[in-house]
Chain A
Amino acid sequence: MAAPALRRQDLHLYDANNDESRSIADACDGDPQAQSWLAQHFSPVVYRFALRMMRNEQDARDATQETMVKVLRNLHRYDDRWRFQTWILSIARNTCIDEFRRRRHRSSAQPPDIADPTPGPLELSSQRQRATTLHVALGQVPPLYREVLVLYHFEHLMYREIAELLDIPIGTVMNRIFRARKKLRQAYEGLADPDAQREGPP
């Protein structure tokens, strides 16, 4: 009882000259080349999101694989009034949440975050150093708040897209973002404090 496959005429914004639009339609028809194109094009998007949420490369890789397989197997469900990337991120988010639940189930005493992007060469530019501190600070923000920050500031989703993705009113999104920024700022200042004299505020 498979759902009927999405057809080209169902895509409101179908555009034959647009790689993304064409690949989605072709992949729906089962074209492996189009599926491969989507996998190449959107795996990095999902990986970046998953890495920021999971804070661990292996987990991010697993989440990416699971998400992209779900995406490619459920293309017929895609409603193109959403941006394709937003739809994919909503699936990535659910995958990450499942993983968080599984982890909490396994051990409630597990440290929340393990790996962070490596600082790289010793001589970091101050901007680079701030970015690294920020990544560490982001890891200290609880996932509920981290996700809105990642979606807005890193994935550049609109506020209303986040509301749609999380299925909550936009007022709730705003409250959550404000609280998230406050938490991030506190975490960031806590980390940056020893260097505050030398670095100064960004």
Chain B
Amino acid sequence: MTWLHVPSDLLDAFVQGDVSEEDAVRVALHVDDCAACQARAVAADPLATTLASASKLSLPDSLVQGLAGSVMADLERRASVASPVTPVVGIGLVAAAALVLLTLGDSSGALIQLQTLWHAALAVLRAVDIPLSVVAPVWLVAAVVAIGGASLASWRLEQGLSPWR
């Protein structure tokens, strides 16, 4: 059945949530684009009318200025912190990972250690607000090198050799 506007009985059922999913989607997509039916849907639902009247939450100007001010201050602070810290943090964490793994020389513990470090690294990234995707390739390579190096070193230790050479 085609319609130009949603028939009243269907709209009432829609408002009550009393329609099939197929009809719900059809009406929703229409209501999205049709201001008239949208207004009718609001009028048909007392709750929506109240929601509409309650939707205006006016904020004092001082609050808005305060919010925007702290956003800009935070932005500035992070911009000055993030750039020199990023490579240092990255290299530092990978070095720490390798060191811990080598010291332990225990391949079963190694994975758990690596997982802990991974979480620590994520926490640091979150703190300095660097998107993971930006550094993901670097981390992947670093992780492979760290795991590979650690396995090799622990194998050498088991063989009674020096882990280094």
In the bound complex, do residue A188 and residue B47 qualify as a contact, i.e. CB atoms below 8 Å apart? yes
Residues from chain B with a CB closer than 8 A to the CB of A170 are 25, 28-29
* Alpha-carbon distance between A35 and B68 when the two chains are bound, in angstroms: 10
State whether B134 touches A2 (Cβ < 8 A). Answer: yes
Q: How large is the interface on A (under 10, 10 to 19, 20 to 34, 35 or more residues)?
A: 35 or more
Dominant SS among interface residues on chain B: helix
Is A36 positioned at the interface, with any CB of B under 8 Å from its CB? yes
Interface string of A124-161 (1 = CB under 8 A from B): 00010011001100000000000001000110101110
How long is the Cα–Cα vector from A170 to B28 in the complex, in angstroms? 9
* B120-145 vs A, Cβ < 8 Å mask (1 yes, 0 no): 00000000010100110110000000
**Does the CB pair B50–A47 fall under 8 Å?**
no
Which residues of A lie under 8 Å from residue B57 when comparing CB positions?
A: 48, 51, 117, 154
| Cα-based distance from A87 to B92 in the complex (angstroms) | 35
Q: Is the CB of B53 within 8 A of A171?
A: no
Give 5 nearest A-B pairs by CB, closest first.
A178-B17, A131-B54, A174-B24, A159-B28, A43-B67
CB<8 Å pairs between A and B, sample of 24? A1-B137, A3-B134, A35-B72, A43-B67, A44-B59, A64-B67, A65-B67, A65-B70, A72-B75, A127-B50, A131-B50, A131-B54, A154-B55, A158-B32, A159-B28, A159-B32, A173-B28, A174-B24, A175-B21, A177-B17, A178-B24, A181-B45, A184-B47, A202-B46
